[in-house]
Amino acid sequence: MNIHQNVSLADKNTLRLDARAEWYCEAFTVEALLEAAEFALNRKLKVISLGEGSNIVLAGNLAGLVIKNRIPGVNRDAEVVHVAGGENWHSLVRSTVSSGLFGLENLALIPGTVGAAPVQNIGAYGVELGDTLLSLKAIHLPTLEQKTFSKAECELAYRDSLFKRNDEWLITHVSLALSKVSECVTTYPGIVSYLKEHRLDVTGESIAKAVTHIRAGKLPDPLRIPNVGSFFKNPVLETERAEALAKVFPDLVQYEATGGKKLSAAWLIDQMGLKGFRVGQFVVSNQHALVIINEGGGTQGELFELVGVVKQKVKYTFGIDLEIEPRIYPDGF
C-alpha cells in the first residue's frame, strides 16, 4: 500500500479547486482500505474518504489521510446487485439497464462512484437511491469494525444520510434490490415528452435515454466544465409559508414534499437575475441557475464570495436560507 504525502487534489475534484492532502492513497481492496485506515489510526490522523470528487468542495488543505476508494466489482444475485464502492455509478446504471433490471434508469448520468451514492442519497427525475437500496457495508474508521447497515439504519433523507453527518464510516459495498418487472417512474414531464417525441415505449433503456438527453441539455458535463451539479438544495417550506410566498410571487415553482412544499432553488436564483453572475473565475451557469462553474483557476475565496452573494440576494427577496448541497471539506469550514 503506497501512502503519499502532500498530494494535490486539484485533479481529484470536479470543481477543480486547488487543495492538498497531508496524506493520500488509493485502495483497490478492502484489505488495502483497512491497512490505510490502520495507518491513520496509529498516527491519530483524520480519514477523509473520496470517490470521484464530484460532490465535494475543497475549502482548504486537508489535514489527515485522504483515501480514494477504488474497489471494483459487481455481482448479481437474481434481482439484487452487490456493488463495490469504487465502481462508477453511471456504468452501473448502464449495465443493469441493459441486462433488463429496472430501478436505476432515472439515475442515469449522475457523476460519481457507487460508494458515494448513499452519502447524498443521490436522486433525480422522481427516483432516489433509497428506492432501491437494500443494505450497505462500511468500515468504522475509529475501530476498523466492518458493519452491514440495513436501509433504515442509513437514515436516508433528501440529499442526506447518516454518512453525510458522520464521517466515521467509509462505505465499501452497496446492495441494491432491482426488479425484472417494469416499475418505471415517468412523473417528470420532460421524460414523457421525450418518449412521445421519439415514439418510444416505456422501457428501462428508453427512460435512461430520455434522462441522459435531459441532463445533457440542462447540466454542464463536470468532466469538461468544472462543477459539482446542484450547488444548493431545494428548500422545503411549511405549506402556509410557501402559500404566503406564492401570493407575492405567483410563478413560484413548488412541489409537494414531506413536511410541506419543496421550492425550486434554481428558480429563486434565476429570479434574482444571477445567471452569468461571476466572481473571478467562478460563474453561475447560464444553462442552469443551480450550477456554479469554475472557468479555470478559480480560488476558494472567489467561490465563497459568489455563494455569499447568491445566498444574500435570495434571503433578502424571499426570506429563504439556501443550504449548500455538496459536502464541504475541511469540516466546520
Looking at the annotation, which residues are catalytic?
159, 230, 325
| Interface region with ligand EPU, contact rule CB under 6 A, candidates 4-12, 82-90, 172-180, 284-292 | 284-292
CB of 211 to ligand EPU, least distance (A): 9
Residue 166, helix vs strand vs coil: coil
Closest CB to ligand EPU among residues 178, 284: 284
Q: Which is nearer to ligand EPU, 135 or 234 (CB)?
A: 234
**95 three-class SS:** helix
Q: Does 304 bind ligand EPU (CB under 6 A)?
A: no
8-state DSSP, 153? G
Would you count residue 266 as binding ligand EPU (CB under 6 A)? yes
Give the residue at shortest CB distance from ligand EPU. 229
Owner of C-alpha cell 496524506: 23
Region 227-246 residues binding ligand EPU, contact defined as CB under 6 A: 229-230, 233-234
Q: Which of 264, 281, 299, 300 binds ligand EPU (CB under 6 A)?
A: 264
Cβ pair 149, 121 in contact under 8 A: no
Residue 40's CB: how many other CB atoms inside 10 A? 21
The DSSP secondary structure of 38-107, one letter per residue, reads HHHHHTT--EEEESSSTTEEE-S-EEEEEEEE----EEEETTEEEEETTSBHHHHHHHHHHTT-BSSGGG
Helix (H, G, I), strand (E, B) or coil at 62: strand
Is 311 among the residues that bind ligand EPU (CB under 6 A)? no
- C-alpha–C-alpha distance, residues 156 and 211, integer Å: 23
By CB under 6 A, name the one of 174, 289, 293, 314 that touches ligand EPU: 289
- Measured from the CB atom, is 77 or 256 closer to ligand EPU? 256
- Greatest alpha-carbon span in the chain: 61
Using CB under 6 A as the binding criterion, the count of chain residues that bind ligand EPU stands at 17
Binding to ligand EPU (CB under 6 A) within 95-124 occurs at: 124
In what helix (H) or strand (E) does residue 186 lie, and over which residues does it extend?
A: none
CB of 111 to ligand EPU, least distance (A): 8
Task: Tell the residue number behind the cell numbers 441494491, with chain if given.
Answer: 176
Q: Which residues sit at the interface with ligand EPU, rule CB under 6 A?
A: 124-125, 218-219, 229-230, 233-234, 253, 264, 266-267, 270, 288-290, 325
